[in-house]
Amino acid sequence: MTKSALNEIATNELVRKRLAKIMALECFRNSKLEELHAGVYPSSQSGDYSDVKVVTPYGEISWERLGRFSDDEMKVLMIDVVDRCYQFLSELLDRRCAAAIIERLKLRDPLPRWNDPRARLSGNRQGQCDD
């Protein structure tokens, strides 16, 4: 990544927001999450799913208590997401790729239907920015 590209990310909030959205798409949305998301999802007459139960050989589980991913599925998902984040960062840090990515993001929002990101944390995360 060139100093110019890094400066653009650091100083251009619009580029940062668009970069965050494309990173979420490439690293998470298009990951193994799609396989976990596929399938039949129950309907709820009450609207809050308090009327939905999963029947197992060992009894019923209310929808509110039901885990959606097993530990094994979560592990597979996280390995895939980490690999995708690594690939994304590798491309972003490549001089040629970074310039092209930044220029595209300056010109248009690749995901205009998605909400723009907003900061959720104030200050640093658990001292990670401390010297």
**Average pLDDT value for residue range 83-102:** 91
| CA separation for the pair 49, 46 (Å, rounded) | 6
Specify the range with the lowest mean pLDDT, choosing from 7-21, 57-71, 77-91, 111-125.
111-125
In contact, 118 and 16? CB cutoff 8 Å: no
pLDDT of residue 125: 60
State the angle between helix axes of 95-107 and 13-24 in degrees (0 to 180), rounded to the nearest 10: 110
DSSP-derived 3-state class of residue 102: helix
What secondary structure does DSSP assign to 46-111, as a single string? SSSSTT-EEEETTEEEETTT--SS-HHHHHHHHHHHHHHHHHHHHHHHSHHHHHHHHHHHHH--S-
pLDDT of residue 42: 86
Is the Cα dihedral 103, 104, 109, 115 positive or negative?
negative
Mean pLDDT taken over the chain = 87
Q: Is the pLDDT of residue 129 over 80?
A: no
**Average pLDDT value for residue range 43-47:** 90
At 3, the pLDDT band (50, 70, 90 cuts) reads confident
Where do the structural domains in the chain lie, given as residue ranges? 3-36+43-107
